[in-house]
Chains A and B, each alone.
Chain A
Amino acid sequence: MTDTAERQMELILPMVADIEIAAARAAGNLARELGMSGDKIDEMTHAIVEACINAREHSCCADKRIYLRFVGTADGDCSPRIDIWITDHGRGFDVQQARSRRQQLGPAHKRGWGLQIIEAHMDEVEITTSPEGTTIHMVKCEKKS
């Protein structure tokens, strides 16, 4: 793959059971073509799975669709980098509240770990959310930890 356009992929997926696996496989294939290592791809795919589940379980969107965009590039030293945008047209959520709820509940509580897993597995995470929908932009780089 040498052409920039070939490194971009856009998907619109229905919110059905296990659809997160289709999203994760698509991103994984792109990452492999870019030369990203297996461990990095595994971390990225687990983050995508959690982001898609959050959209499916919590967005309450009318169109029942998840919009995904993947862009694969090379950093300055030709190291693979993937930018991922996952969007729903749902009701949005309070990011601060989601984070603080996790801290209050403590390690013994069993649910609500999606955001924490995403942030642990990705190098950069940015969430834009409003009553019109949510977009999570995540970045995975080969060279970062």
Chain B
Amino acid sequence: MSEELRVAVDRRNSGAVLYTKGYINNVGGEEIANRAYELMDGGARTLLLNLRETKIVNSIGISILIEIIEKMIDQGGKIAFCCLTPVIHKTFQIMGLANYATIYPDEETAVKELDLQP
């Protein structure tokens, strides 16, 4: 069975908002990483991942997200998340992701604080 993740990118002034839809597993994590690294190579230093349409994640997918965060921190940038379900938020906290990335309750707040207005 296939649970393909889709990623839509909305470029903003200093970065981008990435909208995920589907299961963040190893394949989904790599898809996000590919899009994030393309954006970072293009100069983006602030990325917001909106997980509104992602209802399930696994530990392998989250480990890839942590790798993306580490790479972005190394380049002097930052990655944030918004619109997490309670269980995904809890899983991020268990794995320590919340220590390295800010988690916002909604996109409006995140965009304002990260200066990612359209």
Contacts and interface: CB of A to CB of B under 8 A. Distances in A.
Interface string A9-53: 000000011111110100000000000000100110110011001
Interface residues of A, number: 26
B59 A39 contact: no
Interface string B39-82: 00000000000000001111110110011000000000000000
Contacts of A144: none
B3 to A, nearest CB: 5
Given A18-B3, A42-B55, A53 B90 contact: no
Interface stretch (B13-21, B92-100, B107-115): B92-100
Nearest to A41: B87
Main secondary structure of the interface of A (DSSP, over half): helix
A121 B58 contact: no
A53 B63 CA distance: 14
A21 B2 CA distance: 9
A75 B66 CA distance: 39
A60 interface: no
Given A42-B86, A46-B91, A117 B1 contact: no
Given A18-B2, A110-B66, A120-B90, 19 more contacts: A18-B3, A21-B23, A24-B56, A39-B87, A42-B87, A46-B56, A46-B57, A53-B58, A53-B59, A53-B60, A108-B96, A110-B63, A110-B67, A111-B60, A113-B95, A116-B94, A117-B94, A120-B91, A120-B94
Interface of A: 16-22, 24, 39, 42-43, 45-46, 49-50, 53, 107-108, 110-111, 113-114, 116-117, 120-121
